[in-house]
Amino acid sequence: QVQLVESGGGLVQAGGSLRLSCVVSGFTFSIYTMAWFRQAPGKEREFVGVIKWNSAVTYNGDSVKGRFTISRDNAKNTVYLQMNSLKPEDTAVYYCAATRSFAMRVLPDTSNYDYWGQGTQVTVSS
């Protein structure tokens, strides 16, 4: 049974930090590309960034680069999203997702992911 379980969300003031975790089971985590997406109320799900099997990381543009860090621990079947200098516009439900794809041109597309977590709410107050 495949499971992706996110945790670490919560309420934080602007400028604060949170670390999200996504623990995976039911498939071979080490060979999957793992991504973080987020969805704010009334908006489409947005690609945050991705970490490939070899720990190569790509972030979505400049909105999170330099503030967010994605990492993975294959021994723990876990992917992380460290979020620093949080802004109110970072408020969203954050999801982790898994795919066997590795071509960067397809990774921002939600339809290319095989498995999804249930999401964890991040709220940043001003």
pLDDT in tens, 25-55: 999 999 999 999 999 999 999 999 999 999 9
> What pLDDT shows up at residue 104?
87
Query: Cβ(11)–Cβ(23) under 8 Å?
Result: no
- pLDDT at position 25 is 97
Encode pLDDT of 59-99 as tens digits.
Answer: 997 789 899 999 999 999 999 999 999 999 999 999 999 99
**Does the pLDDT at position 121 exceed 90?**
yes
Q: How far apart are CA 59 and CA 80, in angstroms?
A: 13
Q: What are phi and psi of 29, to 5 degrees?
A: -55, -40
Q: What is the pLDDT of residue 102?
A: 86
